[in-house]
């Protein structure tokens, strides 16, 4: 009887200490983590707890939002497994494609998924050379040489999919918008007061859109999680499948999608757009960490609909 009571009390003490250790570990976790540029932040706030004979599961939001507010991603989060037995690590983090899509949505809404290319990057960006593809440029803007720009952007927020065999793929409706810079012949002192300040604060555009080319592209993305604490989920475009391009709109009449123009478009996407995207994804999405835990032996596997990130840990109390 006495031995039985001692055993019960001993088990209670052990359970209490485990609970205290667990609570201390959780108290050291930062649930809201900003991205490197402080445009978006990912919210891992817990929403529910599940337990079984195999694991204790903490369901977290995993949603990326703008730090300045704004529209949230309109689609609901999917159901995910509370525990994946394929990983032998003690701690698991399951990241769905929905979380990746909230990040894409946030940065699309913030106007960050675009880049403007000038003539110093692509020499053909002037009205004389581009008139070869769109003769109406010379008719509308004159025969004098004027600079042009090409703006790379997406018509809608891109979407990501995660598949156990194909890995992570992303799809987007790519646009390349060609614009002609407004004449620089008019000096600032010759502008009237209204025109001068309207142009300075952006009420009057400094360029006119000549035509826009578009198409739906896809790419495969290699994902990675670094070892240790302050983990980040990073990515890099591995393979890019370019679309069959078409003219989306034109204010200069017909546009001939001949080889030289398509080469220019694809150069802009592959050699300028992709490195910009990779530079951003290299910074990565921050993942939860705790000052009371040291993560080690981290591994990641691509499953159907989610990434499974598993780690062992050392607990510091």
Q: Mapping DSSP to helix (H, G, I), strand (E, B) and coil, where does residue 304 land?
A: coil
Residues 179 and 297 occupy one common structural domain: yes
Q: Do residue 160 and residue 234 come from a single domain? A: yes
pLDDT value of position 6 = 46
pLDDT digits (tens, 9 = 90+) for 119-142: 999 999 999 999 999 999 999 999
Are 20 and 150 in a shared domain? no
Tell if the pTM clears 0.85, that is, is over it.
no
Share of the chain above pLDDT 70, in %: 82
Catalogue the E-assigned strands of the chain.
Answer: 32-34, 40-43, 46-51, 56-60, 63-66, 91-96, 114-117, 148-154, 159-163, 167-181, 207-225, 232-241, 246-250, 285-286, 293-302, 306-315
- In terms of domains, do 114 and 25 share one? no
Residue 151 tokens read as 């703006």
What is the total count of domains within the chain?
2
204 and 64 both lie in a single domain: yes
**Average pLDDT, integer, range 94-116:** 96
- Claim to verify: residue 20 and residue 36 sit in the same structural domain: no
Q: How large is the average pLDDT for residues 56-75?
A: 89
Share of the chain above pLDDT 90, in %: 67
Range of the domain at 25: 1-29
Quick one: how far is CA 200 from the chain centroid?
Answer: 31
Based on the domain organization, do 25 and 105 belong to the same domain?
A: no
Assess whether 188 and 138 both reside in one domain: yes
Residues contacting residue 299 through CB under 8 Å, at least 6 positions apart: 87, 89, 309, 310, 311
Residues 25, 53 within the same domain: no
Q: What is the pLDDT of residue 22?
A: 53
Higher pLDDT, 73 or 197: 73
pLDDT band at 25 (very low <50, low <70, confident <90, very high): low
Of the given ranges (6-15, 21-30, 102-111, 283-292), which has the lowest mean pLDDT?
Answer: 6-15
Give the DSSP letter string of 278-291.
Answer: HHHHHH-EE---BT
Listed in order, strand segments (DSSP E) in 9-62 are 32-34, 40-43, 46-51, 56-60
d(CA 296, CA 309): 12
Same domain assignment for residues 187 and 255: yes
Predicted confidence (pLDDT) per residue in 177-236, tens digit:
999 988 654 344 444 555 455 545 554 456 799 999 999 999 999 999 998 888 999 999
Rounded-to-integer distance, Cα 37 and Cα 15, Å: 43
Q: Which residues sit opposite 167 in a β-bridge?
A: 163
Same domain for 261 and 305, yes or no, is yes
- Do residues 21 and 52 share a domain? no
CATH code (residue 138) = 3.15.20.10
pLDDT digits (tens, 9 = 90+) for 150-181: 999 999 999 999 999 999 999 999 999 999 98
Q: What is the rounded average pLDDT of the residues 245-251? A: 98
More confident residue, 219 or 81: 219
- Please give the distance of CA 271 from its chain centroid, rounded to a whole number: 19
Distance CA(18)–CA(258), nearest Å, equals: 69
Task: Give the pLDDT confidence of 280-305 residue by residue, as tens digits.
Answer: 999 999 998 877 778 889 999 999 99
Contact 297, 312 (CB under 8 A): yes
């Amino acid at each position: 009887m006495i031995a039985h009571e001692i055993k019960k009390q001993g088990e209670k003490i052990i359970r209490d200490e485990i609970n205290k250790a667990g609570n201390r570990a959780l108290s050291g976790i930062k649930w809201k983590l900003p991205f490197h540029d402080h445009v978006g932040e990912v919210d891992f706030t817990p929403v529910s707890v599940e337990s079984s004979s195999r694991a204790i599961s903490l369901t977290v939001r995993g949603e990326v939002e703008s730090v300045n507010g704004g529209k949230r991603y309109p689609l609901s989060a999917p159901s995910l497994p509370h525990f994946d037995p394929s990983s032998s690590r003690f701690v698991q983090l399951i990241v769905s494609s929905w979380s990746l899509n909230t990040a894409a949505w946030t940065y699309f809404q913030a106007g960050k998924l675009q880049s403007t290319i000038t003539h110093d990057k692509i020499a053909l960006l002037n009205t004389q050379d581009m008139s070869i593809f769109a003769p109406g440029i010379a008719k509308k803007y004159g025969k004098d040489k004027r600079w042009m720009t090409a703006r790379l952007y997406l018509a809608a927020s891109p979407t990501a999919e995660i598949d156990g065999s194909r890995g992570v793929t992303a799809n987007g409706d790519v646009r390349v918008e060609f614009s002609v810079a407004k004449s620089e012949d008019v000096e600032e002192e010759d502008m009237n007061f209204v025109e001068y300040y309207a142009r300075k604060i952006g009420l009057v555009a400094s360029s006119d859109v000549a035509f826009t080319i578009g198409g739906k592209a896809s790419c495969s993305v290699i994902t990675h999680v670094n070892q240790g604490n302050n983990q980040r989920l990073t990515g890099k475009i591995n393979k890019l499948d370019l679309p069959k391009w078409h003219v989306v709109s034109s204010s200069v009449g017909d546009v001939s999608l001949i080889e030289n123009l398509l080469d220019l478009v694809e150069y802009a996407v592959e050699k300028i757009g992709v490195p910009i995207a990779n530079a951003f994804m290299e910074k990565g999405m921050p993942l939860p960490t705790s000052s009371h835990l040291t993560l080690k032996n981290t591994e990641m596997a691509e499953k159907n609909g989610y990434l499974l990130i598993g780690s062992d840990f050392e607990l510091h109390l």
